[in-house]
Amino acid sequence: MLSDGTLSSRISVNRGIIIILCCTVSLLTVFSNFTGSPDNHVRCPPLLVSLDANGAFVCNASGYYDALTQRPLRLLIFYDKNDVMNLPLCDVKPATLIGRRNVSLEAHSEEDIAADNPKVLRGGRYRPSGCVPRQRLRVAVIVAYRDRQEHLQILLNNLHPFLQRQQLDYTVFLVEQAGNATFNRGKLFNVGFVEANKLREYPCFVFHDVDLLPENDANAYSCPQYPTLLSSAMEKNKYRPIYADYFGGVVSFSSRHFRQVNGFPNLYWGWGGEDDDLSLRVRTRLGKLLQEPADTGQYTMLKHEKDAGNPVNPQRFKLLNAAAKRFETDGLSSLSYSVVKLERKPLYTWILVDIGQPG
Ligand code: BGN
């Protein structure tokens, strides 16, 4: 389906005619997809990957263009059952995986981490260059954050190589709470979900604490059939489950499921309870949540001083008791915030956000 359109001056007339015919057939195929042939009800060809796009790619009358740079896209890969795909699918178990390893607790500078990870694009995005991710999902990794620079550096230094070894198409988003109001983890994750999807549609989300380091790259950052607790075995808890319905730390969600449960609650300011509320939402709305097996869901938790900005929330029991009544009204449906800054840093897309005060 791709042709570079250059004809050598020494090409024979016959070959020239054949090439022109091929080009015409290719163009007609694209055009028929574009306008919607009887067995293809989409307006544009079912484009899922473009090696050229920085952000969302959009189709208009003259073809695809990059929504961020506004530049036309040159190299497109189309795939569904009828389409041409000129890259193989990535392996089920990429040879790049190394399994369990010791995490690095060194806090390298962000510049050094970027230099060590040259394939990570500005904004914290990576996708394998030689193959198409098997799940064909783009994964947004959302980190809720404030004032933990050292932990952030340690996380990024571990996370980028880890995710690249999994051969995912992923982007890391750092959602930072502006100001000094009490920290609100759930609300920051909700903001990350909405803002990431504005830049590009992400079918799969991983919500990630900044102080958790995955130890085993067999723990796939992807979206299986149900929302999944990825951090199921913490070193600080001797790799035993924290409690049966624990759903904090690192969890994955398809976009569809996250919307179905109305996201995280927004009302939990300070430490504790918002993850239990989310777990309840998943169990009541979707009927099931999954846990990464303990032999792959291993994490190291970084130590930190008591965080004055994130005190234990004394309201959490009361909130949890009435959680079932608030699913519809508290969450993505009631989210209000204003973005202070959105910047593509070398290792992540940084979203500084004003999420207001405890009401
Ligand atoms: C639980 C917290 C979780 C937290 C884990 C971490 C509450 C609600 C009261 C029942 N839940 O106790 O939010 O992630 O500890 O160990 O405090």
The predicted pLDDT at position 89 comes to 73
The predicted pLDDT at position 94 comes to 86
Ligand 1 closest atom vs CA 312: 17
The predicted pLDDT at position 267 comes to 98
Q: Is there a domain that residue 21 lies in?
A: yes
The predicted pLDDT at position 74 comes to 54
The predicted pLDDT at position 326 comes to 96
Residue 130 per-residue DSSP state: S
| SS3 category, 254 | strand
Cα distance between residue 278 and residue 40, in whole Å: 38
| SS3 category, 277 | helix
Query: Tokens representing 51?
Result: 């090696």
320 C-alpha vs ligand 1 centroid, how far in Å? Answer: 11
Q: Is there a domain that residue 78 lies in?
A: yes
Is the domain of 150 the same as that of 30?
no
Is the domain of 44 the same as that of 136?
no
Is the domain of 167 the same as that of 78?
no
pLDDT in tens, the chain (359 residues): 333 333 333 334 344 444 443 333 343 333 333 333 333 333 445 554 444 444 455 666 666 665 556 666 654 544 433 333 456 677 778 888 999 989 999 999 999 999 999 999 999 999 888 777 766 678 999 999 999 999 999 999 999 999 999 999 999 999 999 999 999 999 999 999 999 999 988 889 999 999 999 999 999 999 988 999 999 999 999 999 999 999 999 999 999 999 999 999 999 999 999 999 999 999 999 999 999 999 999 999 999 888 899 999 999 999 999 999 999 999 999 999 999 999 999 999 999 999 999 98
Q: Is there a domain that residue 225 lies in?
A: yes
Is the domain of 155 the same as that of 289?
yes
For ligand 1, atom 3, the nearest C-alpha belongs to 272
Is the domain of 204 the same as that of 332?
yes
Is the domain of 279 the same as that of 185?
yes
Is the domain of 122 the same as that of 70?
no
171 C-alpha vs ligand 1 centroid, how far in Å? Answer: 28
User: Which of 163, 128, 124, 122 lies closest to 51 in space, CA to CA?
Assistant: 128
Q: Is there a domain that residue 99 lies in?
A: no
CA 65 to chain centre: 22
Over its C-alpha atoms, the chain yields an Rg (Å, rounded) of 23
Is the domain of 219 the same as that of 310?
yes
In the listed set 84, 102, 123, which residue is the last one of a domain according to the structure? 84
Query: CB-side exposure of 104: number of CA atoms within 13 Å?
Result: 16
The predicted pLDDT at position 65 comes to 65
Q: Which residues line ligand 1 (CB under 6 A)?
A: 242, 248, 272-273, 275-276, 316-317, 320
For ligand 1, atom 4, the nearest C-alpha belongs to 272
Q: Is there a domain that residue 96 lies in?
A: no
| SS3 category, 283 | helix
Q: Is there a domain that residue 217 lies in?
A: yes
Is the domain of 175 the same as that of 71?
no
Phi then psi for 195, rounded to 5 degrees?
A: -70, -40
Contact at 8 Å (CB) between 252 and 205?
A: yes
Ligand 1 closest atom vs CA 313: 17
Question: What is the count of structural domains for the chain?
Answer: 2
Is the domain of 319 the same as that of 197?
yes
For ligand 1, atom 2, the nearest C-alpha belongs to 272
User: Which of 287, 274, 276 lies closest to 226 in space, CA to CA?
Assistant: 287
Is the domain of 225 the same as that of 341?
yes
Query: Tokens representing 258?
Result: 């996250």
Return the amino acid letter for 84. V
User: Which of 288, 238, 301 lies closest to 260 in space, CA to CA?
Assistant: 288
Is the domain of 74 the same as that of 115?
no
Residue 271 per-residue DSSP state: B
Domain that holds residue 20: 9-84
Q: Is there a domain that residue 72 lies in?
A: yes
335 Cβ contact list (under 8 Å, min separation 6): 187, 190, 191, 194, 263, 266
Relative orientation angle of helices 185-199 and 274-285, to the nearest 10 degrees: 60
Cα distance between residue 353 and residue 55, in whole Å: 21
Q: Is there a domain that residue 4 lies in?
A: no
CATH number for the domain including 349? 3.90.550.10
For ligand 1, atom 5, the nearest C-alpha belongs to 272
Sign of CA dihedral 348, 354, 357, 359: negative
In the listed set 50, 68, 84, which residue is the last one of a domain according to the structure? 84
